[in-house]
Amino acid sequence: MIKVGILDINLYRDDLSTISERPVLNANQIDFPIAGKDIVLMDDVLYTGRTIRSALDALFDHGRPARVQLLVLIDRGHRELPIEARYVGRMVQTSNAEIIEVKFQEIDGQEKVLLVERVDDPSARDAH
């Protein structure tokens, strides 16, 4: 059986002070030991690589896995850190003025991927 967990990376973000004075924290849901295990991190959109760096920091607070691989639905390029996904659903070349929005049935009531123009809004800084 493949075990699944959820990481909250909010406290590990390098832009924490620019997002909010009080970050919203969600509980980690990793109820199994990760030390010595092969781990596959999953994310919807890979952009700068900073979210994955935060996830790696959070993950290693739970133990030292044998290997970590990355799976993403969309890789849009524009990396700021040397992070690459091993498994990619789709490569979508974008400009920095565009955002990829991924909608999930469980959260949004629909499943789709949207490419939209970035709105010049300070709260949009956190978008993928």
- pTM greater than 0.75: yes
Residue 127 has pLDDT above 60, yes or no: no
- 35-60: pLDDT as tens digits: 999 999 999 999 999 999 999 999 99
Reply yes or no on domain 10-95 having CATH 3.40.50.2020: yes
Smallest Cα–Cα separation from 83: which of 119, 47, 32?
A: 47
- 109-122: pLDDT as tens digits: 999 999 999 887 65
- 6-34: pLDDT as tens digits: 998 888 877 655 555 555 556 789 999 99
Smallest Cα–Cα separation from 26: which of 1, 41, 9, 3?
A: 9
Smallest Cα–Cα separation from 12: which of 56, 69, 42, 44?
A: 56
pLDDT of residue 121: 60
Any residues with CB less than 8 A from the CB of 122 and at least 6 apart, and which? Answer: none
pLDDT of residue 25: 54
* ∠ CA 59-62-67, rounded to 5°: 55
**Every domain of the chain and the residues it spans:** 10-95
Strands (E), the chain: 38-46, 67-75, 87-91, 98-103, 112-117
